[in-house]
Amino acid sequence: MRFLVIEDERELCQTIAQSLRRLAYSVDCCYDGDKALEILEAERYDLVLLDLNLPGRDGMTVLRTFRQWDRGTPVLILSARSEVADKVEGLDAGANDYLAKPFHLAELEARIRSLTLRQFTQQETVLRCGEITFDTRARTATARGQALPLTRKETSILEYLMLHQGRPVSQEELMEHVWDSSVDNFSNAIRVHISALRKKLRSVLKEDPIRNRIGEGYVMGGEEP
């Protein structure tokens, strides 16, 4: 999953980005409100983390403008302005949640899980597909109960395919949601990571749980073709 962190305190922004990357999320950073809107118009994210006091357009303006064309992407406000009125204004403007600074990273991670998994699961933090599990809290996967030693990219691809079971996911969609903008987007790089992931899954399962649907993409779970 790919996130955008809009936060003008660069150190804090980088700290958040690094800790989320360690959990196999892809993260882009942005340091002002005007640039944020440009990026949001051009890119697709699974979650936006938004500070309110920003140079350029402020966070509330960014949020209201963004919500004019996108109502679906979850937005989590991160702000030092912890007054009730600010929270209410943010939620009314279309934010999905609000976290007051300073916060503990563990709490941020919990809010992120809740916002990104809301549409897929109720309370369950472990995704399942046949004999494969993905623990969204620990960010680890198993096959037949055996821990899978996955790289960050492989983890991210597996999570995305498990969240979208039963429908084909194209290489373009994987690039949008699994890669951050610091990485060169070459589709053969996706093929390399997918093929490494498949090899690891096959070595335990003795079969390939990822199917190719020609012209459409990769599918996990759902009905067999």
Q: Which residues bind Ca ion (CB under 5 A)?
A: 8, 51, 53
User: Least distance to Ca ion from the beta carbon of 181, Å?
Assistant: 22
User: Least distance to Ca ion from the beta carbon of 96, Å?
Assistant: 20
Alpha carbons 166 and 221: distance in angstroms, whole number: 5
SS3 (DSSP) at 113: helix
User: Least distance to Ca ion from the beta carbon of 51, Å?
Assistant: 4
Closer residue to Ca ion (CB): 51 or 180: 51
User: Least distance to Ca ion from the beta carbon of 74, Å?
Assistant: 20
Closer residue to Ca ion (CB): 16 or 210: 16
Closer residue to Ca ion (CB): 108 or 126: 108
User: Least distance to Ca ion from the beta carbon of 86, Å?
Assistant: 13
User: Least distance to Ca ion from the beta carbon of 7, Å?
Assistant: 6
For residues 127 and 136, the answer to whether their CB atoms sit within 8 Å is yes
Closer residue to Ca ion (CB): 51 or 97: 51
138 DSSP 8-state letter: T
Closer residue to Ca ion (CB): 55 or 166: 55
Cα-only R_g, the chain: 18
CA-closest candidate to residue 154, choices 145, 144, 143:
143
| Region label for 94, one of left (φ > 0), alpha (ψ between -120 and 50) or beta (otherwise) | left
User: Least distance to Ca ion from the beta carbon of 46, Å?
Assistant: 23
Environment class of 31 (CB within 10 Å of its CB; exposed 0-12, middle 13-18, buried 19+): middle
In the chain, what are the helix, strand and coil shares in percent, each to the nearest 5? 40, 20, 35
Closer residue to Ca ion (CB): 19 or 53: 53
The residue ranges of DSSP E strands in the chain, in sequence order, are 2-6, 26-30, 47-51, 75-79, 97-100, 126-129, 132-135, 140-143, 146-148, 210-213, 217-220
Alpha carbons 35 and 21: distance in angstroms, whole number: 22
Closer residue to Ca ion (CB): 8 or 70: 8
Alpha carbons 140 and 192: distance in angstroms, whole number: 20
